[in-house]
Amino acid sequence: MHPTVGQETREPLPEGLGQAIRETADDIARLLRGAPGTTVPVPGSAWTLGEAAAHLALANELMADLASGRERPYGDGTPHGLAAANEQSLAAFGERRAEPLAAVITGQADAFLDAVASAATDETADGPPLVTPLGPMDRPLLASYLLTHMLGHGYDIARALNRPHMIDRDRVGLCMPFMLSVMPRVADAARTAGLTARYAIRLRGGTAFGVTLADGAVTVTPGPPDRPDCTILIEPVAFLLIALGRRNPWLAIAQGQVLARGRRPWLAPRFPNLFTAP
């Protein structure tokens, strides 16, 4: 479903985001359909491949419902609450076969994009932000959230099958609106308490943003702060994987994917641990 000529468009998705959502869902479905089975473990996770795919299917359905304007309470907005909601939803959903789950993942990604397109041309669609598991969002931001979520678990599925993952520089760029919006919400209060620091984060060839910590408060800005204490230059895919808890930051540093400079460069290794992966 797409806007027609003459219809007013609200909340259009950033260029390439809809295509990235559809292609990522297709990439994940292709991996699942080529899997020899779904009982293999996901590295670094308590889930099997089938459970990770089932979670993705359920999450895509949730996102499609939210995009259509339906209210779907899910957790309490904290990482612990989301984890509990994930386990509860998985326990109530028994499907673990690759083909049915692949179909749901792609079908619900399409349903999400249809809902966004419908809302963009619906004169009655204006209203308060959508209530999501990680706070209020408009549809473009929710779409960035959906892509980020699929890429994180798609990476897990690829690793479980020893296949190449689907994360690249362009897709990371489309995840950045969500990542920047959620960072204050997922900051670890115990680790940010008492820390005063100004970080400039620069993704190689992409986004630059600032993170300022003062008196336990975390502020994220779309540009680097004046006179940052620590500037981190990082390869985009490494940034997303570290931020989602999928990559060891020390390994990324050792491989030259992360460089730090500034008046307090020793703050760089501390940065990832200031946040809990969304």
Return the number of other C-beta atoms located less than 10 Å from residue 58's C-beta. 22
Integer angstrom CA distances of residue 165 from 156, 238, 241: 8, 13, 11
Q: Is the dihedral angle over the CA atoms 98, 145, 230, 214 positive or is it negative?
A: negative
pTM of the model: 0.93
The Cα–Cα gap between 106 and 117 comes to 17
Instruction: State which fold the 189-274 domain adopts.
Output: Nonspecific Lipid-transfer Protein; Chain A (3.30.1050)
Q: Which residues, in sequence order, are bridge partners of residue 261?
A: 231
With a cut of 80, say whether residue 122 has pLDDT above it.
Answer: no
pLDDT tens-place string over residues 65-79:
999 999 998 988 777
> For residue 2, what pLDDT band results from cuts at 50, 70 and 90?
very low
Q: Is the pLDDT at 35 greater than 80, yes or no?
A: yes
In tens, the pLDDT along 231-277 reads: 999 999 999 999 999 999 999 999 999 999 999 999 999 999 999 98
Q: Which CATH number fits domain 17-171: 1.20.120.450, 3.90.79.10, 3.10.105.10, 1.10.1660.10?
A: 1.20.120.450
Q: In the chain, where are the structural domains located?
A: 17-171, 189-274
pLDDT in tens, 159-200: 999 999 999 999 999 999 999 999 999 999 999 999 999 999
